[in-house]
Chain A
Amino acid sequence: MEIPYTSKPRPDTGLYNAKLGIWLFLASEVMLFGGLFSAYVLLRVGAPQGEWPHGWLNVWLGTLNTVILALSAITTLLAWVACKVGQFSKFKFFHACTIALALTFLCVKMYEYHDKWIHYEIKLTDGKFADGHFESAVYVNKATDKELEEHSFRGMAFSEVSGGVTNHYELASVTLEGRTVSDEKELMDLRSQKHIELGPVKVERAQIKSMQNYGPWHNTFLAIYFTLTGLHALHILGGTLVIGYLWGPGRKMWKTDPERFTNRIEVSGLFWHFVDLVWIFLFPVLYLM
């Protein structure tokens, strides 16, 4: 006996198995992202006044990503409609669009992550704070007094082996493209500050009390930002792989069982729309509030 209702729907529920399966899975995903969103709300509401960042994320990049994802949701749907009406070439086109848009989304996200990665906050010994994007750092070899200019941060000190000799370099100075502020709270709410003057800021090693980039460890906003968008990006990646498979090797099923293939496109499309739905809430919550 074969498993019934894999393609044709069961009369009393009106669903075929995979469609019910994917909606069930999406319900669990609602709870997953819901758990993270509730963590966000709690952390935010629990933060003391003035200690939650505003305006740290680029709204225009976020908007671009929103439009990209919305467009990809549309192309996914149209790919499915193309299957339903039997126009396989249209399906191939729209699905390719979806994959291209998804990859673009991920590229924009990578750019945003990188932007945070090279953004540093330096606590200065005089109580002030230097904050900005890393431009360059000068390292000096204590043994030979040789100076080295690096364009990526390599820590407070590092060792390098060249020509059989181990060279030990220490940080001499850091140049950031940013500003110096006297109160850390000024770094929090960027929205309310009208014109922020940014320029080169050079900080000598002796002035550095501690230095940390804007990774998830920097504060809880960044922690929840990276976790939420990271998990979301993993879902985009997973969805792209599935859609890519169906567009590529999986398309063979169109010839042998077009109805089942169309259902697969529908089911993967539903997952993709869900991922878009999550972003619809992620964008305003993280970027606009």
Chain B
Amino acid sequence: METTVQQFPPFREADAHHGHGEHAHHEPGFWEKYIFSTDHKTIGIQYGLTALMFMLFGFGLMILMRWQIAHPGVPVPFLGPLLEKVLGSVVAPHGAISPELYNSFGAMHGTIMVFLGIVPLAFAAFGNYVVPLMIGAPDMTFPRVNMASYQAYFVGGLIMLVSFFIPGGAAQAGWTSYSPLATTIPTDGQLFWIIGMVFLISSSLLGAVNFIATIIQLRAPGMTWMRLPWFVWAQFVTAFILLLAFPPLEAAAVMQLMDNVAHTSFFLPTGLAVGGQLANVSGGGSPLLWQHLFWFLGHPEVYVLILPAMGIVCEVIANNTRKPIWGYKSLVYAVLAIGFLSFIVWAHHMYLTGMGTKISTFFQATTMIISIPSVIILTCFFMSLWGASIRFTTPMLFALAFLPMFGIGGLTGLPLGFNVSDIHLHDTYYIIAHFHYVVAPGTIFALFAGVYYWYPKMTGRMMNEFWGRVHFWGSLVFMNVVFMPMFLQGMAGMLRRMSDGGANYSAAVNARGGAEVIGGLSGNIMELHQGILIGALCLGLVQIPFIINVFWSIKHGEKVKSDNPWDATTLDWQTPTPPPHGNFEHEMHVYRGPYEYSMPGHATDFTPQNEPENGAAPKPMAAAH
């Protein structure tokens, strides 16, 4: 159809036809299909695989650190010679981990797990794959921006990895990169960290814009806001958090970059002395400014880590209880409240920076208030189990375990939110235990659940149930073996980020009375290190069946008998397996809410969202092959 008339507003029905003409009979080559794809499903899988690899790497860093903590100064078995060969004998003398190397492992473990592992997996991977399917959309609103956001993530990750091999090694100033330490360390690791972060932040921003626009604009007809699966709500709020909380960190990163490279003094105070000498900088800056800008992101970031996971748990629980989720409306309002409140709680990470009582009390109050919607969400999930016909599939096992594990993590956060008790617990192992409980047996369990749950949709095969259970029980037991003792260690006063595992404070080394001295650590507390190391190693071993399961099941897993093997109600299961480019042959129409399981008067115990009221069967999809 020739376009000559520029009348406005021109509304052209011919749009659809034009589009078809461009795409029909265009078979993409290997590069376009798998590497430079703009299809949200491919991008989701790219994010997922990359993130899982980074998480494995981050896990490895942790094992090395735990070895050093349990056996300070002792060369690492098996890997020691390799470390010395690759990283040099300055940082890895005779294969032992020097304090500098320990610090860089610590900083990079945190950075990699959070920014290269969990956020890309929970938000970008699952979100990209599932959200457009769940809302009945053909793809994200901006497919090329989507591809760009993956590429930015990839480049950022590469920069972070490369930083291990530059002279001086990777960043050493913690995942929090506090100034002035971050600026005065004379190596380039911090520089690489900052540049990597800029790429990662940009990737997240692009992704956030895409998610929000998609969820607002591309919902299928009939998919009203209150009919959205709660997973979509969770991703929506997560995207908003990323959109608005990341930029101040980007601004701060630019300023820290200027401090490092251009010798400015944004975060360097007047009178700063480095190595006993007055630093040759203009001064006049504020280290606290960095902390404020960092934590302005840092706190909302933890909600980015947990909300998609909660979303997954919601879907898996609804599906495996064969009941509607209890309290859908409460869940929606709670997640919106969390998103909003998360922006005004950040300084509870800064109670020990000399803040006055008024401001401390403000942040304490908002921190306490934000626990309410979190508890509401957990309560709704627990209530959903009441009177349910629970199917103990592997995803359900992980989702069920999430509940008490996240509960422990959340409850142990309360003494940290109170500024009085935080004075004792800040920067101790209690904090490490708290946040790992929320993220490790919390979020990661939910992500495992997601993998087992959506694997059949992506591949047309089920993952092996037996090895799934081995993976589950092993992970559950050993996660607790690793992290529960850390609460005790923290309450006894063991500080975090000590490269000798607290040996300097231990009774064995401290000549003045051992554990009787203030800050002294008793032998019992120190002995826990051994148990934690063994627990961590076993935790690693038990992931092996999972990794094998993921790859083995692609070719040898039990084939699904239908496009909807879990008998789910949401639209992502009403597509061919795997969904083709464009997802749906025809526009989907939604007639009902997301969790219509066991509705009275229906023949089956589930009613898909796109099934019309009069009971007519939805348009048939091609059977799985």
Contact = CB atoms under 8 A, between A and B. Distances in A.
Q: Find out whether A and B make contact in their complex, taking CB atoms under 8 A apart as touching.
A: yes
A288 interface: no
Interface in B219-239: none
A257 B17 CA distance: 13
A216 B255 CA distance: 11
Interface string B579-592: 00011111100000
Interface size range on B against A: 35 or more
A255 B4 CA distance: 8
Interface string A215-244: 111111001101100010000000000000
Interface string B1-42: 001001111111001101110010000000000000000000
B368 interface: no
A47 interface: yes
A231 B3 CA distance: 41
A28 interface: yes
A39 B8 contact: no
A33 B250 CA distance: 10
A258 B244 contact: no
B264 to A, nearest CB: 4
B265 interface: yes
A257 B582 contact: no
Contacts of B205: 25, 28
Q: Which of B6, B7, B208 has the most CB of A within 10 A?
A: B6
B251 interface: yes
A1 B217 contact: no
Q: Which of B143, B209, B585 has the most CB of A within 10 A?
A: B209
B339 to A, nearest CB: 14
A217 B281 CA distance: 7
A203 interface: no
Contacts of B296: 35
A224 to B, nearest CB: 7
Given A1-B138, A3-B141, A216-B258, A35 B247 contact: yes
Interface size range on A against B: 35 or more
B252 interface: yes
Contact of B289 (A42, A255, A259, A262): A42
A5 B217 contact: yes
B285 interface: yes
Nearest to B206: A25
B284 A219 contact: yes
A163 interface: no
A246 B141 CA distance: 21
Contacts of B583: 1
Nearest to A259: B10
B248 A24 contact: no
B218 interface: yes
A34 B248 contact: yes
Interface in B155-192: none
A84 interface: yes
Contacts of B243: 24, 27-28
A223 B251 CA distance: 13
B289 A2 contact: no
Contact of B248 (A31, A218, A262): A31
A217 B248 contact: no
Contacts of B7: 86
A85 interface: yes
B582 A1 contact: yes
B478 interface: no
Given A1-B586, A47-B284, A35 B251 contact: yes
Contacts of A36: 251, 254-255
Interface in B479-511: none
Interface string B292-334: 0100100000000000000000000000000000000000000
Given A21-B213, A28-B243, A35-B252, A2 B16 contact: yes
B252 A21 contact: no
A223 B264 contact: yes
Interface stretch (A8-16, A104-112, A135-143): A8-16
A28 B244 contact: yes
Given A21-B141, A257-B3, A46 B286 contact: yes
A17 B10 CA distance: 16
A50 interface: no
A198 interface: no
A256 interface: yes
Given A216-B263, A219-B282, 20 more contacts: A1-B584, A2-B20, A8-B11, A8-B12, A28-B243, A28-B244, A31-B246, A34-B247, A34-B251, A35-B249, A38-B248, A39-B289, A85-B6, A223-B255, A223-B264, A227-B258, A258-B3, A258-B6, A259-B12, A262-B8
Q: List the 3 closest pairs (A to B, CB-CB), nearest first.
A: A86-B6, A35-B251, A35-B248
